[in-house]
Amino acid sequence: MRMKNRNKSSVVLPQKLSNDSILQQPNSYEGESLLHLLNSIQREIKLARLSDESLPHKIWLKQQFSIGVNDVTRVLERMPPLHGSLSSPTESSNAKMSPLHLQAILIATDCNPRSLTKHLPSLASSRGVSVIFVKDNKGGSFKLGEIVNLKTAMAIGVKARGNAINKVIAEILGDNDIVGP
């Protein structure tokens, strides 16, 4: 018979986020709530665009949103970390380069492979950016793409510019203060 060693030190490993734990978060939308969310965002985009038609639509969208996993990651990495977060010298030098801030990130949970967007929630939380998960039975990336007139988008960052789009996102998140330039 083997004797159990009670003097072993136990290591507690962080638990991996399963797909179910992502969907239980308060900022996860699917079904009717997802349609309401997307319709309200699209309505505000159209209204904001009508009030400012000085730029071509594609350039105007890029001023309002950070589109795609790479662009969202790049903007988050250039944002200064929250106080108390550990930062490397490269992060602090990158933070000085861009005064751009994201108010929230919309992430499609149906992307394949999931590792493409796995880093975004932790990076966003280190920068104080809210995350909204979009789930629609293999169609979340299509729904996000509709917002920015693309076929698909796995991640969209809403830039904090103090406009009507930011007000809608603040209402969705329950925020009272809207960050803008």
Q: For the residues 149-169, what does the mean pLDDT come to?
A: 92
Which amino acid does the sequence have at 22? I
Asked, for residue 85, whether it belongs to a domain, the answer is: yes
Q: Would you place residue 84 in the very low, low, confident or very high pLDDT band (cuts 50, 70, 90)? A: low
Q: How far apart are CA 3 and CA 1, in angstroms?
A: 7
What's at 78, amino acid-wise?
R
For residues 81 and 60, give the distance between their C-alpha atoms in angstroms, rounded to a whole number: 27
What's the average model confidence in pLDDT over 169-179? 70
Note whether residue 84 is domain-resident. Answer: yes
The span from the CA of 10 to the CA of 8, in Å, is 6
For range 22-26, the mean pLDDT: 45
Assess if residue 49 is contained within a domain: yes
Number of structural domains found in the chain: 1
Residue 181 belongs to a domain: no
Residue 8 lies in a domain: no
State pLDDT tens for residues 34-81. Answer: 888 889 999 999 998 888 888 898 999 999 999 999 999 999 999 998
Residue ranges making up the domain that contains 81: 28-173
Strands of 65-67's sheet in order across: 28-29, 130-134, 102-108, 155-159, 65-67
* DSSP bridge pairs for 133: 28, 107
Residue partners of 143: CB distance under 8 A and separation at least 6: 34, 38, 108, 134, 136
Residue 142 host element (H or E): helix 140-147
Reported as a single tens digit per residue, the pLDDT across 100-133 is 899 999 999 888 888 889 999 999 999 999 999 9
Q: Is residue 168 part of a domain?
A: yes
Mean pLDDT of the chain: 78
What is the CATH number for 92? 3.30.1330.30
3-state secondary structure 67-102: ECHHHHHHHHHHCCCCCCCCCCHHHHHHHHHCCCCE
Residue 178 lies in a domain: no
In a domain, 15, yes or no: no
Question: How many beta carbons lie within 10 A of that of residue 154, not counting itself?
Answer: 24
